């Protein structure tokens, strides 16, 4: 019974923890402009993140070490250093977007200006990272984040024309008012949002925090293979809400306050309260994960002691890294930069950095020195190679498309 409960909790947390500010914004923007004609990208992204998250979890469980520790050892300090620089900067950008997302969600609840909430959000994230147990932190934000299921309920309550939605999803085409370049730019942004690198660093380091062993592999696989696809369904539900309400009226989503309107339309103030709680939980959870990921990546690369299972005094540089990253994120946001713009850039730059994250994981997952008999099988490697081609193509096309389309405008 305890095992079943643990499994259920793991799956529910994976669903609730799947969405972050990048998913919320990108799916709503895409839904308002392209309907569900980019839903296929969410499917591709979810399969990719399942494949690589599961792989990085396996590496951590079998070797007992997190990804970045092995990357440096296996690829050497120079290659690993380039990898670290790119991953760390993207992670910092994502952390900035998440802290901004918390402030915007709190503005919805209070109508108090986000710049007053930003330092509060930064401080709250630090306090939780400093004081709370890893498992509690992960489970609470994941479970509260589950309230975002209200987007899926709203889709049914809005009473859409299912035929139109199905046509958009299953016969995707570029809408007349949008160009092909913009369509592919948003396809890459959506892919980057689904496969954000920090999720993998967090997943593999979390496996070490929770002391996974080979015995835990089947449970972790189930968490990923069931939880993440349900998270993907919620992503599509956000896009569907925007497609139902905004697309027919020519409304383009450019703020978080617009994203909650279809939910209020479907379920009134109660649904509105639930979705705001969900957004706060999702962005707060992702801010915790990105803060920790910044500490994990740097500490693992530098060989410092790390982990929440250690007292802060025994992992001082790990905690200091997180504090500095939070201070930088808060400082950037206090310049009045638009958090939604930061989010849009963070998902596209995540796509640019994808090969740096996923190629080393694939290399290590095939190294018998670390994995013993648990090296990847042929089927997994086949899928992974297909994904490497997709990831490299998306990475190479992201910046040119950003320039050509004026960042999708």
Partner 1 sequence: MRVARAALAVVALATVAGCAVGSSSTRADDARALVDPLEQSSSAVATAQIAVGLLGDGDLTPAVTDTSLLDQNAVLEDAGFAVSTLVPTDATTSTWQADSLAAVREAQAAVVEARAWANGSGAGEEAVAAALDDSADRLEELTQRLEAAS
Closer CB to partner 1, 76 or 268, in the complex:
268
Angle subtended at Cα 258 by Cα 331 and Cα 158, rounded to the nearest 5 degrees: 145
Name the minimum Å distance from CB 405 to partner 1: 13
Query: Which residue in 254, 366, 380, 381 binds partner 1 (CB under 8 A)?
Result: 254
Do 352 and 398 meet the contact criterion of CB atoms below 8 Å apart? yes
Q: How far is the CB of 93 from partner 1 (least distance, A)?
A: 22
* Binding-site member from 173, 218, 257, 393 for partner 1 (CB under 8 A): 257
Kindly tell me which residue out of 240, 245, 247, 279 binds partner 1, with binding defined by CB under 8 A. Answer: 245
Which CB, 41 or 275, lies closer to partner 1?
275
**In whole angstroms, what is the distance from residue 29 CA to residue 409 CA?**
11
**Interface size with partner 1, residues (CB under 8 A):** 22
Nearer residue to partner 1 within complex by CB, 273 or 388: 273
Cβ proximity to partner 1, 110 vs 305, nearer residue = 110
239 sits near partner 1 (criterion: CB under 8 A):
no
Instruction: Give 227: exposed, middle or buried? Use CB within 10 Å, 0-12, 13-18, 19+.
Output: buried
Binding of residue 265 to partner 1 (CB under 8 A): yes
Asked if 277 interacts with partner 1 (CB under 8 A), we say no
Which residues make Cβ contacts (< 8 Å) with residue 320, sequence separation at least 6?
Answer: none
State the minimum distance, in angstroms, from the CB of residue 256 to partner 1: 8
Which range touches partner 1 (CB under 8 A), out of 4-12, 60-68, 107-115, 382-390? Answer: 107-115
Euclidean distance between CA atoms 242 and 154, whole angstroms: 11
Report whether 254 contacts 340 (CB < 8 A). yes
Q: Which of 2, 3, 5, 249: binder of partner 1 (CB under 8 A)?
A: 249
CB neighbour list of residue 74: distance below 8 Å, 6 or more residues apart: 360, 363, 364, 367, 370
What is d(CA 39, CA 173) in angstroms, rounded to the nearest whole number? 11
Residue span binding partner 1 (CB under 8 A) among the ranges 222-230, 235-243, 245-253, 388-396: 245-253
Residue 159 in contact with partner 1, rule: CB under 8 A:
no
**DSSP string of 64-123, one letter each residue:** SS-HHHHHHHHH-HHHHHHHHHHHHHHHHHHHHHHHHHHHHHHHHHH---HHHHHHHHHH
**How do the residues of the chain divide into helix, strand and coil, expressed in percent and rounded to 5?**
85, 0, 15
Contact between 260 and partner 1 per CB under 8 A: yes
CB 313 within 8 A of CB 130: no
Q: In this complex, which beta carbon is closest to partner 1, that of residue 139 or of residue 157?
A: 157
406 binds partner 1 (CB under 8 A): no
User: Can you tell me which of 261, 324, 363, 407 binds partner 1, judged by CB under 8 A?
Assistant: 261
Closest approach of partner 1 to the CB of residue 269, in Å: 6
Q: Give phi and psi for 179, each to the nearest 5.
A: -85, 165
Chain residues binding partner 1 by CB under 8 A are: 107-111, 245, 249-252, 254-255, 257-258, 260-261, 264-265, 268-269, 272, 276
């Amino acid at each position: 019974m305890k095992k079943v409960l643990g499994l259920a909790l793991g799956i529910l947390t994976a669903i609730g923890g799947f969405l972050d500010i990048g998913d919320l914004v990108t799916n709503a923007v895409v839904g308002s402009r392209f309907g569900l004609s980019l839903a296929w990208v969410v499917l591709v992204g979810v399969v990719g993140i399942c494949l690589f998250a599961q792989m990085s979890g396996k590496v951590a469980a079998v070797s007992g070490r997190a990804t970045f520790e092995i990357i440096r050892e296996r690829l050497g300090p120079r290659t690993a250093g380039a990898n670290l620089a790119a991953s760390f900067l993207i992670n910092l950008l994502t952390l900035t977007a998440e802290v901004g997302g918390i402030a915007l969600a709190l503005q919805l609840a209070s109508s108090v200006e986000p710049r007053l909430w930003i330092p509060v959000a930064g401080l709250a994230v630090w306090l939780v990272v400093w004081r709370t147990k890893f498992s509690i932190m992960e489970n609470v934000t994941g479970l509260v984040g589950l309230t975002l299921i209200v987007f899926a309920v709203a889709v049914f309550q809005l009473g859409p024309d299912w035929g139109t939605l199905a046509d958009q999803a299953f016969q995707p085409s570029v809408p007349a008012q949008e160009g092909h370049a913009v369509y592919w730019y948003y396809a890459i942004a959506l892919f980057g949002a689904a496969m954000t690198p920090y999720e993998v660093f967090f997943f593999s380091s979390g496996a070490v925090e929770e002391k996974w062993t080979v015995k835990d592999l089947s449970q972790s696989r189930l968490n990923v293979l069931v939880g993440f696809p349900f998270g993907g369904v919620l992503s599509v539900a956000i896009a569907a809400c925007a497609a139902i309400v905004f697309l027919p009226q020519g409304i383009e989503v450019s703020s978080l306050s617009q994203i909650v309107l279809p939910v209020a339309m479907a379920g009134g103030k109660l649904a509105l309260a639930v979705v705001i709680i969900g957004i706060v939980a999702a962005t707060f959870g992702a801010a915790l994960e990105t803060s920790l990921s910044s500490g994990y990546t740097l500490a693992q690369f530098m060989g410092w002691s790390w982990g929440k299972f250690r007292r802060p005094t025994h992992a001082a540089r790990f905690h200091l890294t997180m504090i500095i990253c939070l201070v930088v994120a808060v400082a950037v946001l206090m310049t009045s930069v638009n958090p939604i713009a930061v989010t849009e850039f963070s998902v596209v730059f995540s796509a640019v950095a994808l090969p740096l994250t996923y190629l080393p994981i694939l290399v290590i997952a095939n190294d018998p020195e670390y994995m013993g008999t648990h090296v990847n099988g042929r089927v997994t490697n086949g899928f992974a190679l297909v994904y490497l081609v997709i990831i490299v193509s998306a990475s190479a096309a992201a910046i040119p498309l950003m320039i050509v389309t004026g960042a999708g405008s």
